[in-house]
Amino acid sequence: MNLQDFNTKVYPLKDKIFRFAKRMLEQTEEAEDLVQEVFIRMWKNREKLDEYRSLEALAMVTTKNLCLDKLKARRFPVESFNDQRQFIETIAEETRPDHSDLVLGVKEAMGTLPEHSRMIVHLRDIEGCEFDEIAEVLGMQENAVRVALSRARKRIREILINDKSYEYQRN
């Protein structure tokens, strides 16, 4: 794979990789560094990239593994939602609906989930990945992904309703 092919096939994945890394690591700078590491690894293996069925799945698996390595290396958990708060605060006051409490509640609820469940929720509900893609990234059966997603969503809903006193309205 030459540089032009790399730029058209791999580089467009940068935003998706970044969001996934940021969700797992919860630190912008660390996620940015990790994206660079993913690209370096993929560039070093550029001659073998044509052998893979999905470059996106390869990039996401690489991102997941590097994130898990970083999380294991940490000595204490990071609990910072400052970036999301800053984003919400920069929206014009008159056009900004006040969902900040709900967003924070969902993030806190997701924080109580096992890492595996958080990854599934992120990949499906934030990145919009299909079930077969998630199964490939996480090395699971597609039905297991569906069940785990359902359970994770149910747990988040329970936390929001019971602990945060949000009302649940089925559409």
Residue spans per domain, the chain: 1-80, 97-164
pLDDT in tens, 47-80: 888 888 888 889 999 998 898 888 777 644 444 4
Q: What is the pLDDT of residue 97?
A: 52
Choose the CATH number for 1-80 among 1.10.1740, 2.60.40, 1.10.3470, 1.20.120.
Answer: 1.10.1740
pLDDT in tens, 12-50: 999 999 999 998 888 889 999 999 999 999 999 888 888
> Given pLDDT bands bounded at 50, 70 and 90, which one contains residue 108?
confident
Picking from 56, 63, 57, the residue whose alpha carbon sits closest to that of residue 34 is 63
Which is it for the CA torsion 84, 12, 153, 78, positive or negative? negative
pTM, 2 dp: 0.54
Picking from 80, 143, 150, the residue whose alpha carbon sits closest to that of residue 121 is 150
1-80 and 97-164 in the same fold: no
Query: For domain 97-164, is the CATH number 1.10.10.10?
Result: yes
